[in-house]
Chains A and B, each alone.
Chain A
Amino acid sequence: MKERDPGASGGTLSGTFSPASVFSLRSVRWFELDWHVLLLALGMLGLGMLFIHAMSEADASAERGSDAVHFSKHLEKVLVAAPAMLLALALRPRFLRRNALLLYGVTIALLLLVQVVGENRNGSQRWIALPIGFDLQPSELAKVGVILALARVLYRNRLERAKDWGPPIAIALLPMGLVALQPDLGTALTLVPITLGMLYVAGARASVLVRFLAGAAVVGFCVWQFQIGVHDYQLQRIRTWLDGFHAEDLVAARGGPAFHSYHARVAIGNGGLFGQGLGEGVANQAGYLPERDCDSIFAVLAEEFGLLGTLGVLFGYGLMIALMMGSASAIRDRFSRLAAGGIAFYFAAQLCVNVSVNLGLVPMTGITLPLFSTGGSSLLTTFALLGLFLGLASHHEPSLDRDSFRV
């Protein structure tokens, strides 16, 4: 018997649309809320704010003028973005499921819009100016759209036939392509682990995904080897990355393209076992480390907390993601489970890529560390996804989904 698609009859925003059909705090089972995830996330956020505050103090002392980090601005962004968590928490899963593709469409529209009205900074057209304390980076919101849209198309799709792979891959590739055009290859590539994770959870065979990864690696190698379709600066980054595995080479190249990698490595290495103390690291003292309040905040953390502290933070972060995965796996509704899982993969991908970039394990690219980094769009996305996760995991809505009855 063909299963009925609950999303098919609802349409988007049609018929039954009312605030109650969109938001409902009553259906949230508060005692089932993932308090442990929430507390860990708030702990990370607080820790991040502590670091930004120390950074701000150090910059004020050093009179860094227009280059200074301002804690007040960060706080402002947090306060602007925080309500998004509450709103997302209250969103009804059914509404989300029915309108996932619409939300995806909105994010795609924003990605197209940014090509037209976006502001060009540092050679990239990624931002749309907003009068709310920060500018919008649609590529960050695209991650939300991709997660929801994938959950939506995989809701009834178990990837059992070859043609089942088409829609999810198309959904992932479209924003990836648009983001890569900005150009922001790093952000585009973070969608890959999220997509792969969600495909796996949706039923894809591991061997297929491994083959896909192997194929991607071969393509990547060919691109590198034959220099097809890549910019000179991207190849340069790869070369810098490979050289950077040797401390002497990185030191030798510090004045050139390895500038960022070098300063990140210096900061991390300077942390030692016990760290330099809050605000006392060379990254804050000298102020050379680019994006130290954003993409490179992990380097500051590692320097000022030291190995032991950093491992503690990584453990806490990893625990939060594992708990999120655990909670997601327990959700009976397939859409909610996939979306919650996608959100956990988002945090995992951002964490792993950001930390690996700072440690020189992958080539340099600009990726934020959610809950720590400044950056309004990143904060907005992080809060929204965190709220969505908490809501999806605690909303109780009846589901006749096939998986709901499997043991």
Chain B
Amino acid sequence: MVAQRRFLPLVAVLALALTLIALRLVQVQVGEAEVWGQEAANLVRSSSLVPYHRGRITDRDGTVLAQDEDRYQVAFVYREFRRGHPLAQVAHARAALELRAVPLGEALAQLEPWAAALVAITPAQVSAFARGEALELAGVAVPVSADPEAEQRARRASDLRWYAFELLHASPREQRELRFDEDDPRRARPLLELVAALRKQQPDVLRAALAQELAAARAGLAELAVQLVGELAGLELAGDTPAERLVDALERQRRAIEDACADALFEEAAGFPAGRLSAETLGRAFDLDWLAALLRWDGARLASWCAGRRTRYEGQLYGLVVPRLLARAAVEKEQGGKHPAARLLDGLAELYAPAGERARDDRPRSWTELRDLAVLSELDGRFEDAAPSSDYVAAEAVLPLNDPELQALAETETDPWKLLGLATELAGAQALDPQAPASGAEASARWAAHARRISSDDPLQRRELGWLVRGLEARLGAAVDRALLDLCTREEGETRLRFARGRLDLVLQQEKSLVRDAQSRPVLLCEAPPYPLVHLLASDTVRFRGFEVRPTTRRRYLVPGADGQPVGRLIVGSVRKPSLGELFAQIRDERRYVSLRYQALRDRAEDAELTELAGRLFRPDEWTGGAGAEDYFDPELRGRFGWHELEGLAGRKALTLGQPPVDGQDVELTLDIAIQRAAEEVLAHPELPDDPQTDEAWFRNPIGAIVLLTVEGEVLAAASAPLAPGEPQPGRGPERSFVRERTLTMPTFNPPGSVFKPFVAAFALDRLGYDAQRSVDCAPLAQGDRVGGHGDLRCNAIHGACELERALQVSCNSYFAQLGERFSDAQLDELEQTFGFGLPSGLRVFGTQGRSGLREEARIPRPEAQRAARESASGRRRRANGLVYVQANPMQVARGLCGLATGWLPEVSLARAIGGERLPPRGEKLAIGEPALAFVRHAMELVVHAPGGSGYLKGLDEAALGFRLAAKTGSGDYKAFQIDEQSSASDRSDEAEGRVRKHTWLGGFFPVERPKAVVVVYLHDTARTASHTAVYVAAQFLRREPVRAWLARALEAERQAGEAR
């Protein structure tokens, strides 16, 4: 039949279409099943991190110095609060009724009557309200609606019903059973009575239960407020009682969350953030009734949102975006990428490019490609009636960044800082802030000054970039305001722009998830809640819905020391959150990590890569090493977060998956915390010695360091002062203001002075074949001089004829000046190297690659101009006296002394064991013969124990200490006094007598007969020599009981080891 012939091809077309559909179905459901399965799992998976415990840090005896402590935080989740707390339920039901954001405070005042009215509503009233009819409830009369759809009556009615059921705890089944036909007479009965009837209860019983629950909710808020009173104290909150103040704080959170919802909804509709516009333009140019209706806002609330957008946007711009731009530029520079100025311009161009043209990865396009601008070129197609003309789209040269002339200049200009400066000038920054650079040249010069170290932490750089951004914002803002206000007034009179229906369709599609997302974000309410608060919230989660107790960890330093600081703070270090720079530096790795996580099929290498990345990448809220051992041993101390996941929503499946956290490894330090504390206490509060020649000013404001090493190189104590910033001493420089680790660093010019002489002597005896009996005359250089000297170097006294031993004992500069003349420059270099001067101490046991912390300054580069002076006879004289051309930190001096004391030059170690595994001792035999060393040791013993020795009768004798010490004092000239009106009389007198400020040292070992430890005391910026300063500090330290106790233990251990052998 003809007709059948006509239908057959159509059946074939249908079959073909269905076959195509089936193939596509196979592709999606089989070929892409893993991808979509993973996405689906993510949609119903709520995962949370389980924090790991960072490894503990202990001292050599197992005393815990630092450890992670389990603690809790209290967070506020508004969505849970809205859905589960009677106060929020009543407030939101009221908002649904009145179409205004009813404040929680107002709802609290009327909690009982409003709740009673809400549950007294009848299904018939709800239906009538949904249809647009009038409704009167608890004093509010909602009039008949002319446009129920526009007023969202159906949705509001549904919300009213939902909140009423929630107040009554109606189960889904009960709710279903309470859906009646239109003509059912039960529709006229209040919901409370209907629910009571279903439960076969008297309404009064249910009413009483509700009243009890409301009272409990009130009481709960009051209890909570009392516990949170400390947290609320700093906030300017309304209310007379703590509960009212708490509710006001919650109301603020609610407003912030609603603002965030509105921000997201507006941006979805407009394509750009509301904060891009001025408050006036935002409120005047757009029809935002849809937004107000969605969020149940009245005009005043909408106006308040409009008024706050620009301020918030600017806060983020200058507080977050500008530092990020700088951090990204710094990372790019470190990674050898683009010039930081070009990277800053690229970042700015990204900020002003239309959303669709922004780069999806972390590398923005070049700023020279910027043509269209955000907002201006995004107006087309956004609105219902007004069709923007190309006038608004033509954004060329609105900003310097898309000015073709400046972009063309980029091709020829070799200094990108000049381009950045020119952009600042063209943006008109100075017109907005007189402090901004007036010209491009000035701006580029300022930037060039920062060029060495671009940093997001530098307030000056943030201010410089902020000026440019402010100029760009002003120019774009003016153009946008012009364009929008012109669009509004283009038609008859002034109209408000209505978003295109299609755009609003998209917004409505996503509204639920956007609002849910914003409301579900936890807000930290209390960082360190007291135990009663944690107990209160954890024991009654139903009554306190919305308030969550979350586990977290805190690093605690357990041994308190001087001035309230933890003992060993500067060497043990501290933790911090990752910096912006660190987070940006790992962006690429992070993307790789995410892509691997979502990759359906991974091979073994990719699995290993994923594991490695998971362990290495920082999380923004993770504690990481900030300084000292915490920083250096961070890879060992750091653990790996665990995670657990709940699959399914609202606990329907509650299938728990996950991995436990991996805690970090413990690090056992070599420190003896009692000795460390003793050293810090002595340094922080040294006793003023009974010596008229001492430097009182230093003892009042001590700055310095003490190192105590075992002769194997283990650090028993490494103390620095000051531990807290103080006021600089007049005429003595600013070091007193700086808290820093001083045993490993040389923040100032740092010669060891006469402490260097024993090393010179040992080297001369062993390598140069120097005759120790050789006598040298220390005589005045000129008649009438009160001190001796040699060449251009003065001594501290007139010593007459000296042999080497006496020269060491009395620290004769003339002798060592003449001895220095016997050395060649190469020999002096070799001398330094032999004892480890200028070389890393070995404390950074795993090297420096990829590790920071325990910063060590082994050698300060000297200006080239000093080289010639150093290699002269005068230079050699000074080097042999440990002056000017010799630099050392206390740790290096201590290590060298270990070599002198034992003939073994150890690598200094701060860690004894990691993860329970002992680190082997490291070092080498000193290339100096024992006779020379023995000679020097004996001479150092005389320094302390023989008359004339610079340490004689200074409290370092065996009777005072309990052991016999061999030592050498040293004073290295540092700087001239800076005499001013505030300078002390003593400083004036010293300055008048030609004295200069010094670093003073004492370096020694004990006990002489069987050296077990080496001590170095270093005092910064004293007016008097070591024999009037450093020796007293050393004596005060070495007299401390922990030192003696440790020595006794060490000797006992040695005795037992000997017996065992």
Give chain B's interface secondary structure class. helix
Residues of B within 8 A of A63 (CB): 83, 172, 650
A318, chain B: closest CB distance, angstroms: 5
Stretch from B33-41, B390-398, B818-826 contacting the other chain:
B33-41
Interface flags for A256-288 (1: CB within 8 Å of B; 0: not) read 110110100111111111000000001001111
A125, chain B: closest CB distance, angstroms: 9
Task: Select A407's contact among B1, B18, B33, B502, beta carbons within 8 Å.
Answer: B1
Asked if A330 meets B155 with Cβ closer than 8 Å, knowing A269-B29, A306-B29, the reply is no
How far apart sit A269 and B38, CA to CA, in the bound complex (Å)? 10
B202, chain A: closest CB distance, angstroms: 27
Asked whether A60 is an interface residue with its Cβ less than 8 Å from the other chain, the reply is: yes
B36: nearest chain-A partner, CB-CB: A269
Residues of B within 8 A of A262 (CB): 39
Asked if A359 meets B649 with Cβ closer than 8 Å, knowing A122-B508, A348-B14, A406-B1, the reply is no
Asked if A206 meets B502 with Cβ closer than 8 Å, knowing A60-B175, A233-B381, A329-B3, the reply is no
Check B29 against A123 for contact (C-beta < 8 Å).
no
Total contacts A-B at CB 8 Å: 204
Task: Pick from B18, B83, B382 the residue with the most CB of A within 10 Å.
Answer: B18
Asked if A266 meets B502 with Cβ closer than 8 Å, knowing A72-B179, A307-B26, A355-B21, the reply is no
Asked whether A65 is an interface residue with its Cβ less than 8 Å from the other chain, the reply is: yes
A68, chain B: closest CB distance, angstroms: 9
Check A62 against B649 for contact (C-beta < 8 Å).
yes
Check A62 against B3 for contact (C-beta < 8 Å).
no
How far apart sit A361 and B28, CA to CA, in the bound complex (Å)? 11
How far apart sit A121 and B505, CA to CA, in the bound complex (Å)? 9
How far apart sit A72 and B502, CA to CA, in the bound complex (Å)? 31
B2, chain A: closest CB distance, angstroms: 5
A145, chain B: closest CB distance, angstroms: 22
Asked whether B503 is an interface residue with its Cβ less than 8 Å from the other chain, the reply is: yes
B9: nearest chain-A partner, CB-CB: A206
Within 327-362 of A, Cβ neighbours of B (below 8 Å) are at 328-331, 337, 341, 345, 348, 352, 355-356, 359-361
How far apart sit A307 and B33, CA to CA, in the bound complex (Å)? 11
B59, chain A: closest CB distance, angstroms: 52
Check A233 against B505 for contact (C-beta < 8 Å).
yes
B159, chain A: closest CB distance, angstroms: 6
Residues of B within 8 A of A200 (CB): 6, 9-10
Within 167-218 of B, Cβ neighbours of A (below 8 Å) are at 172-173, 175-176, 179
Within 253-268 of B, Cβ neighbours of A (below 8 Å) are at 268
Asked whether A3 is an interface residue with its Cβ less than 8 Å from the other chain, the reply is: no
Within 613-653 of B, Cβ neighbours of A (below 8 Å) are at 648-650, 652
Stretch from B509-517, B558-566, B861-869 contacting the other chain:
B509-517
How far apart sit A61 and B382, CA to CA, in the bound complex (Å)? 39
Check B35 against A269 for contact (C-beta < 8 Å).
yes
A273, chain B: closest CB distance, angstroms: 7
How far apart sit A124 and B652, CA to CA, in the bound complex (Å)? 37
Check A314 against B21 for contact (C-beta < 8 Å).
yes
B32, chain A: closest CB distance, angstroms: 5
How far apart sit A407 and B3, CA to CA, in the bound complex (Å)? 9
Task: Select B18's contact among A119, A231, A318, A325, beta carbons within 8 Å.
Answer: A318
A405, chain B: closest CB distance, angstroms: 10
Check A270 against B7 for contact (C-beta < 8 Å).
no
A256, chain B: closest CB distance, angstroms: 8
Task: Select B36's contact among A121, A247, A328, beta carbons within 8 Å.
Answer: A247
Check B505 against A282 for contact (C-beta < 8 Å).
no
Interface flags for A205-243 (1: CB within 8 Å of B; 0: not) read 010000000000000000000000001111110000000
How far apart sit A273 and B24, CA to CA, in the bound complex (Å)? 13
A58: nearest chain-B partner, CB-CB: B652
Check B14 against A72 for contact (C-beta < 8 Å).
no
Check A260 against B39 for contact (C-beta < 8 Å).
no
Asked whether A290 is an interface residue with its Cβ less than 8 Å from the other chain, the reply is: yes
Residues of A within 8 A of B508 (CB): 122
How far apart sit A66 and B2, CA to CA, in the bound complex (Å)? 54
How far apart sit A356 and B500, CA to CA, in the bound complex (Å)? 26
How far apart sit A255 and B501, CA to CA, in the bound complex (Å)? 19
Asked if A329 meets B4 with Cβ closer than 8 Å, knowing A232-B380, A234-B502, A269-B37, the reply is yes
Residues of B within 8 A of A232 (CB): 380-382, 500, 502-503
Check A328 against B29 for contact (C-beta < 8 Å).
no
How far apart sit A32 and B2, CA to CA, in the bound complex (Å)? 21
B4, chain A: closest CB distance, angstroms: 4
Check A231 against B381 for contact (C-beta < 8 Å).
yes
How far apart sit A247 and B15, CA to CA, in the bound complex (Å)? 27
Asked whether B919 is an interface residue with its Cβ less than 8 Å from the other chain, the reply is: no
Task: Select A282's contact among B11, B44, B175, beta carbons within 8 Å.
Answer: B44
Residues of B within 8 A of A5 (CB): none
Asked whether B158 is an interface residue with its Cβ less than 8 Å from the other chain, the reply is: yes
Check A329 against B158 for contact (C-beta < 8 Å).
no
B521, chain A: closest CB distance, angstroms: 15
Task: Pick from A62, A282, A341 the residue with the most CB of B within 10 Å.
Answer: A282
Check A314 against B506 for contact (C-beta < 8 Å).
no
How far apart sit A235 and B356, CA to CA, in the bound complex (Å)? 14
Check A66 against B504 for contact (C-beta < 8 Å).
no
Residues of B within 8 A of A257 (CB): 506
Asked whether A167 is an interface residue with its Cβ less than 8 Å from the other chain, the reply is: no
Check B10 against A201 for contact (C-beta < 8 Å).
yes
B289, chain A: closest CB distance, angstroms: 12
Residues of B within 8 A of A315 (CB): 18
Residues of A within 8 A of B176 (CB): 60, 72
How far apart sit A287 and B150, CA to CA, in the bound complex (Å)? 25
Asked whether A170 is an interface residue with its Cβ less than 8 Å from the other chain, the reply is: no
Asked whether A370 is an interface residue with its Cβ less than 8 Å from the other chain, the reply is: no
Check A288 against B500 for contact (C-beta < 8 Å).
no
Residues of A within 8 A of B268 (CB): 256
Asked if A282 meets B43 with Cβ closer than 8 Å, knowing A232-B500, A272-B37, the reply is yes
Residues of B within 8 A of A122 (CB): 501, 504-505, 508
Task: Select A233's contact among B3, B18, B83, B502, beta carbons within 8 Å.
Answer: B502
Asked if A268 meets B7 with Cβ closer than 8 Å, knowing A65-B162, A66-B159, the reply is no
Check B501 against A123 for contact (C-beta < 8 Å).
yes
Asked whether B25 is an interface residue with its Cβ less than 8 Å from the other chain, the reply is: yes
B510: nearest chain-A partner, CB-CB: A259
Interface flags for B322-352 (1: CB within 8 Å of A; 0: not) read 0000000000000000000000000000000
Interface flags for B491-528 (1: CB within 8 Å of A; 0: not) read 00000000011111110111011000000000000000
Asked if A233 meets B43 with Cβ closer than 8 Å, knowing A259-B506, A270-B37, the reply is no
Check A288 against B43 for contact (C-beta < 8 Å).
yes
Asked whether B359 is an interface residue with its Cβ less than 8 Å from the other chain, the reply is: no
Task: Select B3's contact among A123, A318, A337, A360, beta carbons within 8 Å.
Answer: A337
Task: Select A341's contact among B7, B22, B505, beta carbons within 8 Å.
Answer: B7
Residues of B within 8 A of A360 (CB): 24, 28
Residues of A within 8 A of B513 (CB): 259, 288
6 pairs, CB–CB < 8 Å, chain A vs chain B: A63-B172, A200-B9, A203-B6, A233-B505, A273-B29, A329-B7
Top 9 A-B residue pairs of the complex, sorted by shortest distance between their CB atoms: A232-B381, A269-B36, A233-B502, A123-B501, A66-B158, A60-B172, A270-B40, A329-B7, A282-B40
Interfacial residues, chain B to chain A (CB-CB below 8 A): 1-4, 6-11, 14-15, 17-18, 20-22, 24-26, 28-30, 32-33, 35-37, 39-41, 43-44, 83, 149-150, 154-155, 158-159, 162, 172-173, 175-176, 179, 268, 360, 380-382, 500-506, 508-510, 512-513, 598, 648-650, 652
Interfacial residues, chain A to chain B (CB-CB below 8 A): 60-63, 65-67, 70, 72, 119-124, 183, 197, 200-201, 203, 206, 231-236, 247, 251-252, 255-257, 259-260, 262, 265-273, 282, 285-288, 290, 302, 306-307, 310-311, 314-315, 318, 321-322, 325-326, 328-331, 337, 341, 345, 348, 352, 355-356, 359-361, 403, 406-407
**Known pairs A197-B10, A266-B39 / 19 extra A-B pairs, C-beta < 8 Å:** A61-B172, A61-B652, A66-B159, A122-B505, A201-B3, A233-B501, A247-B35, A259-B510, A268-B25, A269-B40, A273-B29, A310-B25, A311-B25, A314-B25, A322-B11, A328-B7, A329-B1, A352-B14, A403-B3
